[in-house]
Structure 1
Amino acid sequence: MREFPSPQAILKLFERNPEKTYRLRELVVELQLRSSEARELKRALKELARARRIVYLKKNHYALVHKDHHPISVTRPSIHAEAAPTAARGPNVVSGRLIGHRDGFGFVVPDQPLAGTDLDIYIGAEAMGSALHGDRVEVQVLRSAGPAHGGRLEGRILRVTERAQKTVVGQFHSGPRFNYVLPFDHRIPFEIVIPHGQEWPSGEELAGRNRQFGGESEVKGAAPRTTGRRSAKDLDGMIVDVELTTYPRPAALPRGRVIEILGRREEFGVDVEIVIRKYHLPHRFPAEVLAEAAAVPQYLTERDRAGRRDFRGLPIVTIDGETAKDFDDAVLVERQPWGNYLLHVHIADVAHYVRPGSPLDREARLRGTSVYFPDRAVPMLPLDLSNGICSLNPHVDRLVMSCLMEIDPQGRIVEYELSPGIIRSAERMTYTAVRDILAGEPAACQHNASLLGNFRLMEELARILNRRRDERGSIDFDLPEPLIEFDEYGRMVGITRSERNIAHRIIEEFMLAANETVAGFLEGRNLPSLYRIHEKPDPKKVLEFEEIAATFGYSLGVELPAAERVRVRLRDERERYPRFLERADAADLKITPRHYQRLTKRLEGKPEERILSYLMLRSLKQARYSEENVGHFALAATTYTHFTSPIRRYPDLIVHRILKAALGREGGSVRVQGVASDAAHAKPDKKGAGRLSHARTLREAAATPAAVAGGAFVPPQELQALAAATSEAERRAADAERELIEWKKVSFMAQHVGDEFDALIISLIKHGFFVELLDLFVEGFVSLASLGDDYYVYRERQRAIIGQHTHRAFHLGEAVRVRLDRIDREGNKLEFSVVD
């Protein structure tokens, strides 16, 4: 059987004609390949381009890199070298963050949108200089491509102002001339050259890693120790972390030295280690941070208890997942004699232990958030705090910040109180256990008989709050999430859809109520604070969704006053007729949360629900943190913040500090009367005669400075920087969590190559379509090349892929039968074909 040509054979073809530019079709002929092998050839060419052996010029055109540009024969730039000399900033020079692409080019996202456009700036491969994905850069805007091409801006990197990639994780390859590491992040399109003598970590680095693994005698995954001399060949195929010592130039590959050996890709736990380093997640606490955490007593003193409301006699409980170990929140609902509900939300008082500017605080700010993987977590705070004294563990005294809300039968908050408190959780409950209790499961009810009435009352109030939220237009997509299942040995055995039961909804409603209440209080006092905002969607995204939804017979029902019809060019040149879109300015697009809410309700239980709910979500902007309150679109809330998770989110800790400072200014606690949304902005009850004072189990206490210790107001300028940094940390954590789940899925599906599945088409592109398996929470790709019965073309207007001769069509949302053909481990992708 004829073998596909090796990279060396392909390279020799270029070397025979070093000045020639080859088209892909020419290469297929020269290498005597079949047309069906063009895709594999293109993949090989991309790898050669990534290695800087050839260069991709334009549409499927390739040429040899000049000999003078060979990475071995040039002078290396220093690690401090920039892409170009610092230039005086002018009107065409902007700052931003670089988003790299695996093919060598990139885009700069400006810090401030450029006048007249919200587009990113395209940076060609030849204009990237030494910049890498994630770097902060200064870029000179050279030109605009004009309206015919979407008004795309183009530029070149002038200099790198902040490096994002100081280390790179990848697979080590030994070679006769030089060793190199191939990065796992495809947005770094270079091999990292490892000079001889730099292949092994230093002794101090090895010892440091051993300490991180609890004093193990061997580095996890490292080659066995031998009495002989170590060779780079021992590392071949190993996953390593590399510290960059030089950055790329047009004529030189970057260089680095190995600082960590993680093991082989297929070994247990190595996938998590790769993702942690790929996303540069801080995962090792500095010694001074661990020392400060260890010095915190794991018990409360009389000074800690002084001046706090005492809730220890109440049946307050935590409700969390089965594997949770850090408990931020505890809840209780009491029925008032006059028919209202008294909702208790008690949140761990992390600010009492993590003081501004301390080593603990600096590390928490750096991390921004805890990161949760299927089989482990990377916490924001050391375990002595996150799982210890800060966690609201059962049957022990813990400090809290308490939010008590009196709620009428219509779901309106008529009065609330904010104060430092102390609780003793009566029980550590799980979502599953509470679900079983509320479903009347006999064993669960019997085991928690003393709390049964409390949970019934929680369910009753949660439904009232949900109905109230629904009436104002709050959106609830209820999209399922993947749940990775493991056996007792930590091996993955399945992928299912996570359940969102009534217990999840109870906690969700209670946390939403507390977050809104605290946000309203701080805004009502005109205190600079961090808000959780969700802006109105981009009109273009809304209109794009409307166009797709119309093919299913649905619409958001948005009115478009002052709209104009715009003729646009189709991607498919064969389409005879122009397509028209309605375009409107943001101010003219009268879109509200209720438009989305109505459509989600119409879609409930329909075959199109999964597709259109996903596309609706994509049409919305991402929620983020901001020092300016613009409301929360999806929640239909005028003011919202994050207050309820200070163990795992840094913005919540900041809000706690601001709240404690505000309470300290008002005597240690505050009680506010009002109705509905007015309650948040009403004046405090100076006489203390509010109904909350009738709660017989509450014990009055004079506030002391210790009770509000750790409080601090934050200047607006610092809040702005915190909002940007924590929003970025949140996105980084979400991307890392999502990628690891994809790794787990690909590993699990390796045993199912050749198997057939029922699937749903969830997305169409010009090269093929993506499917989601109905029985597993797994996605994959069906390429047009795999559809061998016809020549298929993507018709954007019809939102379908159609055969030219048979007219067979594949539509968005259509059910298909597919077979798993191939696992792409490098790209963590699954390749399917349609089964006729």
Structure 2
Amino acid sequence: MSKKTGKKKQDPLIQGVLDITRSGIGYVITEGRDTDVLVRPNDFNRAMHGDTVRVKLKKSNGRRAEGVIEEVVDRKQTEFIGNIEVKENFAFFRPDSQRPIPDFYISTRNLSGAKDNDRVVVRLLNWEKGEKKPEGEVVTVLQARDKSDMAMKEILIQNGFPLEFPKIVLDEANELKESIDETELAKRRDYRNVLTFTIDPADAKDFDDALSIQKVGKDEYEIGVHIADVSHFVKPGSELDKEGYSRATSVYLPDRVNPMLPEKISNELCSLRPDEDKYTFSVIFIINNKGKVKDYWLGKTFIHSDHRFNYDEVQEIIETNTGKYVEEIQYLNSLAKHYRKERFKNGAINFSSTEVKFQLDETGKPIGIVVKESKESHQLIEEFMLLANRTVAAHVDKIKIDKKPIPFPYRIHDTPDEEKLKPFVAFAKKFGYKFNMNNEAEVAASFNQLLKDVHGKPEQHVLEQLGIRTMAKAIYTSENIGHYGLGFEHYCHFTSPIRRYPDVMVHRILQDVIERKVHPDNKMEEKCRHCSAKERSAMDSERAGNKYKQVEFMMDKVGEDMEGVISGVAAFGFWVETVNEKCEGLVSARDLSDYDDFRHDDTDYALVGLRTGKKFRMGDKIKIKLVAANLEKRQLDFEWIPGVENLRVKAVKKKKMKIKR
């Protein structure tokens, strides 16, 4: 028997994300628990909204679990926008926030030229235990070009993305040499004499992938997927690496990019610009005319891009069968079409969501909205990037250390949640579409059949959108369960290290595997969670930025009648996406009360009138009037324009009311 030490066993700490409501009460949202942990303001222990924290449970009294925050593991936000109040010997900073945040103390040596009542960005320096106020420093005095510019900056800051790189990071980037090191060159395969080109959007500035192609046999080609070798310049533990990990991703707003790494790296050293020698990390495939990968090689290379294409140029070559490198592009496209067909045959789901792009004038104001199309030129690049990603993941998965898999940032996508799937299947059945739910493969096959059958029909939009919502979210994790949506057993992100930190991690681990000097990272899962969280924050930023530009675009259309499609339904109203502008706004249930008393039917994704039976169902086309466009709230408000039959409903109701009086 072991001796009793007399020490009380400590309660385990639970890790989660702190969500502070506008009223000031906090809830720690944790995985694996049915309920959140309530935390009162006095128990925040210097934690702020969105932070990843460790919480200790209080003794339960049978009601909701309560806890005390013991540790802040990771700050969601370290920079804040607000106004500064400058005194004689110190200053206070009041952050803009809909949730409670204490004022910051600012020393006069950390004002960076800010004056009383200036609008500023402040970085959190420290928050000592026992101190009521955090200490900060002014990073930027905001002198925004206009309201829109300020709004984009606020979106980034509120989602935890700094507007500028610290000086120490920029200094480190500027010290990096662009010249080619002959010693380094000797360690790499030289592909400078092999035909190589990039294919990117017309407005792209960073080119992180290139394709090379050369014939190596009667029926075989060597095709290289070459990726910018960011890990050559960004070393573990460096200031660049710390900053890249902290941001974890670039953020793409309608009028700007907030990059993960300084432009010296993203737009110069690592951008695979034409007619320049560049360091790359490559997957080299030997592929026959039937698309079978006969062999592959992974390793560091050296390339010289011969040409920079944009997607429209390549699409024209594909369609007209004329142009620069037409034979090579047509061959690559034939392989891509083969791989795409095979993916769907093997269980990948053919979802396609509508993406819009804003046409902006020289001041950044939206003057038009266009729908992005996924054409063969886009799919050509997509299929070869997918092939490279899955090849790298499968290669690393085979390697074991002490009979254990290497900690590695897999990109996984779980199977659909049955509870989310059931109402969708029932809804699809109302349109005549059947689902086989016997197993995961049959569900995927049913999805693909539905997407094929629904194409071009009135219900296409609603079923596609609802189908996407039943899907789990793809995340990074060291526990490989495969990627359900793509139909891959092994998958990772290898192809965009300029804009995604997980790709940098993949490059480093892969190089260690190649050199046979793997040192397992016991913090891999923590890093994966961080990158997944930052990816969600980037998506939130991008949605908010798009919404702002939508409202800005629609402001001069207030009072106009429009056609729209109901894109979502809730008890308080329904959302409508306009057909021409692809902009979404709300029709409030309060504004429908003149016509009927509407109730939410969640099984039918509809609002239903109790007396008339009138339905507003997701996917229905209706006429609406734009009545308000609020930039600060990023909100559009619509009113429903009833048809003749609905006017009759209104008249009957008013007549009844008159009799009642």
Answer yes or no: is the 8 Å Cα contact 2:424–2:470 preserved in 1.
yes
Question: CA–CA distance in 1 between the matches of 2:605 and 2:103?
Answer: 45
Alignment-derived partner of residue 541 in structure 1: 420
Alignment-derived partner of residue 635 in structure 2: 829
Spell out, residue by residue over 1:363-410, the C-alpha distance to the aligned partner (whole angstroms, 9 max, x if none).
222221222222222222222221112211100111112211123444
Answer yes or no: is the 8 Å Cα contact 1:127–1:156 preserved in 2.
no
Q: What is the aligned counterpart of 1:206 among 104, 112, 121?
A: 112
1:391 aligns with 2:271: yes
Q: 1:817 to 1:106 in 2, by over 3 A?
A: farther
Q: 1:819 to 1:194 in 2, by over 3 A?
A: farther
784-793 or 812-821, which deviates more? 784-793
By how many angstroms is 1:138 displaced? 0.9
Q: 1:421 to 1:799 in 2, by over 3 A?
A: closer
Question: CA–CA distance in 1 between the matches of 2:572 and 2:241?
Answer: 48
Alignment-derived partner of residue 140 in structure 1: 57
Q: 1:428 to 1:202 in 2, by over 3 A?
A: farther
Letter aligned with residue 462 of structure 2: I
By how many angstroms is 1:796 displaced? 3.2
By how many angstroms is 1:758 displaced? 0.6
By how many angstroms is 1:474 displaced? 0.8
Question: CA–CA distance in 1 between the matches of 2:352 and 2:615?
Answer: 30
Q: 1:400 to 1:615 in 2, by over 3 A?
A: same
By how many angstroms is 1:488 displaced? 3.1
By how many angstroms is 1:89 displaced? 4.5
By how many angstroms is 1:193 displaced? 5.8
1:729 aligns with 2:534: yes
Q: Which has the larger radius of gyration?
A: 1
Q: 1:239 to 1:804 in 2, by over 3 A?
A: farther
Answer yes or no: is the 8 Å Cα contact 1:539–1:589 preserved in 2.
no
Question: CA–CA distance in 2 between the matches of 1:125 and 1:591?
Answer: 49
Q: What is the aligned counterpart of 1:99 among 3, 8, 19?
A: 19
Alignment-derived partner of residue 616 in structure 2: 810
Count the aligned residue pairs: 620
Letter aligned with residue 28 of structure 2: V
Answer yes or no: is the 8 Å Cα contact 2:409–2:524 preserved in 1.
yes
Answer yes or no: is the 8 Å Cα contact 1:801–1:809 preserved in 2.
yes
Question: CA–CA distance in 1 between the matches of 2:513 and 2:443?
Answer: 34
Alignment-derived partner of residue 13 in structure 1: none
Question: CA–CA distance in 1 between the matches of 2:277 and 2:260?
Answer: 23
1:663 aligns with 2:579: no
By how many angstroms is 1:778 displaced? 1.1
Answer yes or no: is the 8 Å Cα contact 1:123–1:154 preserved in 2.
no
- 1:540-579 equivalences in 2 (<5 Å): 540-559=419-438
Alignment-derived partner of residue 187 in structure 2: 307
By how many angstroms is 1:513 displaced? 0.5
Q: What is the aligned counterpart of 2:333 among 444, 453, 459?
A: 459
Question: CA–CA distance in 1 between the matches of 2:142 and 2:208?
Answer: 33
Question: CA–CA distance in 1 between the matches of 2:224 and 2:415?
Answer: 32
826-835 or 336-345, which deviates more? 336-345
Answer yes or no: is the 8 Å Cα contact 2:45–2:70 preserved in 1.
no
Question: CA–CA distance in 1 between the matches of 2:507 and 2:165?
Answer: 23
- 1:588-627 equivalences in 2 (<5 Å): 592-627=443-478
Letter aligned with residue 618 of structure 1: R
Answer yes or no: is the 8 Å Cα contact 1:142–1:154 preserved in 2.
no
- 1:434-453 equivalences in 2 (<5 Å): 434-440=314-320, 445=322, 449-453=323-327
Question: CA–CA distance in 1 between the matches of 2:240 and 2:498?
Answer: 12
TM-score (norm 1): 0.68
Spell out, residue by residue over 1:540-581, the C-alpha distance to the aligned partner (whole angstroms, 9 max, x if none).
12223223333333343213xxxxxxxxxxxxxxxxxxxxxx
Letter aligned with residue 719 of structure 1: M
Alignment-derived partner of residue 66 in structure 2: 156
Q: Percent identity?
A: 31
By how many angstroms is 1:600 displaced? 2.2
Answer yes or no: is the 8 Å Cα contact 1:385–1:391 preserved in 2.
yes
By how many angstroms is 1:282 displaced? 3.2
Alignment-derived partner of residue 646 in structure 1: 497
By how many angstroms is 1:427 displaced? 0.6
By how many angstroms is 1:615 displaced? 1.6
By how many angstroms is 1:607 displaced? 2.0
Question: CA–CA distance in 2 between the matches of 1:173 and 1:779?
Answer: 39
Q: 1:490 to 1:88 in 2, by over 3 A?
A: farther
By how many angstroms is 1:810 displaced? 1.1
By how many angstroms is 1:776 displaced? 1.2
Answer yes or no: is the 8 Å Cα contact 1:105–1:128 preserved in 2.
no
Spell out, residue by residue over 1:701-731, the C-alpha distance to the aligned partner (whole angstroms, 9 max, x if none).
xxxxxxxxxxx73424122222122112211
Question: CA–CA distance in 2 between the matches of 1:142 and 1:619?
Answer: 37
Answer yes or no: is the 8 Å Cα contact 1:316–1:427 preserved in 2.
yes
Spell out, residue by residue over 1:525-544, the C-alpha distance to the aligned partner (whole angstroms, 9 max, x if none).
23612211112222212223
Question: CA–CA distance in 2 between the matches of 1:143 and 1:497?
Answer: 53
TM-score (norm 2): 0.85
Alignment-derived partner of residue 569 in structure 1: none
Question: CA–CA distance in 2 between the matches of 1:95 and 1:258?
Answer: 29
- 1:691-770 equivalences in 2 (<5 Å): 713-770=518-575
By how many angstroms is 1:412 displaced? 2.9
Alignment-derived partner of residue 292 in structure 1: 172
Q: 1:291 to 1:798 in 2, by over 3 A?
A: closer
By how many angstroms is 1:265 displaced? 9.6
Q: 1:714 to 1:736 in 2, by over 3 A?
A: farther
Q: 1:550 to 1:261 in 2, by over 3 A?
A: farther
Spell out, residue by residue over 1:743-780, the C-alpha distance to the aligned partner (whole angstroms, 9 max, x if none).
22122222211112111111111111111111112111
Q: Give the match's secondary structure for 2:326.
A: helix
Answer yes or no: is the 8 Å Cα contact 1:239–1:265 preserved in 2.
no
Letter aligned with residue 140 of structure 1: L
Q: 1:489 to 1:624 in 2, by over 3 A?
A: same
Spell out, residue by residue over 1:771-820, the C-alpha distance to the aligned partner (whole angstroms, 9 max, x if none).
11111121111111111222222233443212233332211211111111
Alignment-derived partner of residue 657 in structure 2: none
Question: CA–CA distance in 1 between the matches of 2:320 and 2:457?
Answer: 30
Alignment-derived partner of residue 353 in structure 1: 233
1:378 aligns with 2:229: no
**Structure 2 runs not aligned, ≥5 long:** 1-7, 87-91, 643-661
Alignment-derived partner of residue 607 in structure 2: 801
Answer yes or no: is the 8 Å Cα contact 1:169–1:242 preserved in 2.
no
Q: Give the match's secondary structure for 1:154.
A: coil
By how many angstroms is 1:335 displaced? 4.8
By how many angstroms is 1:434 displaced? 0.9
Question: CA–CA distance in 2 between the matches of 1:172 and 1:608?
Answer: 53
Alignment-derived partner of residue 658 in structure 2: none
Alignment-derived partner of residue 322 in structure 1: 202
Alignment-derived partner of residue 411 in structure 2: 532
Letter aligned with residue 493 of structure 1: I
By how many angstroms is 1:160 displaced? 5.0
| Cα root mean square deviation, aligned | 3.4
Answer yes or no: is the 8 Å Cα contact 2:574–2:587 preserved in 1.
yes
Answer yes or no: is the 8 Å Cα contact 1:192–1:256 preserved in 2.
no
Letter aligned with residue 713 of structure 1: V
Question: CA–CA distance in 2 between the matches of 1:735 and 1:388?
Answer: 28
Question: CA–CA distance in 2 between the matches of 1:302 and 1:347?
Answer: 20
Q: Give the match's secondary structure for 1:453.
A: helix
1:169 aligns with 2:81: yes
Answer yes or no: is the 8 Å Cα contact 1:483–1:495 preserved in 2.
yes
Q: Give the match's secondary structure for 2:64.
A: strand
1:470 aligns with 2:365: no
Q: Give the match's secondary structure for 2:325.
A: helix
Answer yes or no: is the 8 Å Cα contact 2:37–2:67 preserved in 1.
no
Q: What is the aligned counterpart of 2:301 among 418, 421, 426?
A: 421
Q: Give the match's secondary structure for 1:717.
A: coil
- 1:776-787 equivalences in 2 (<5 Å): 776-787=581-592
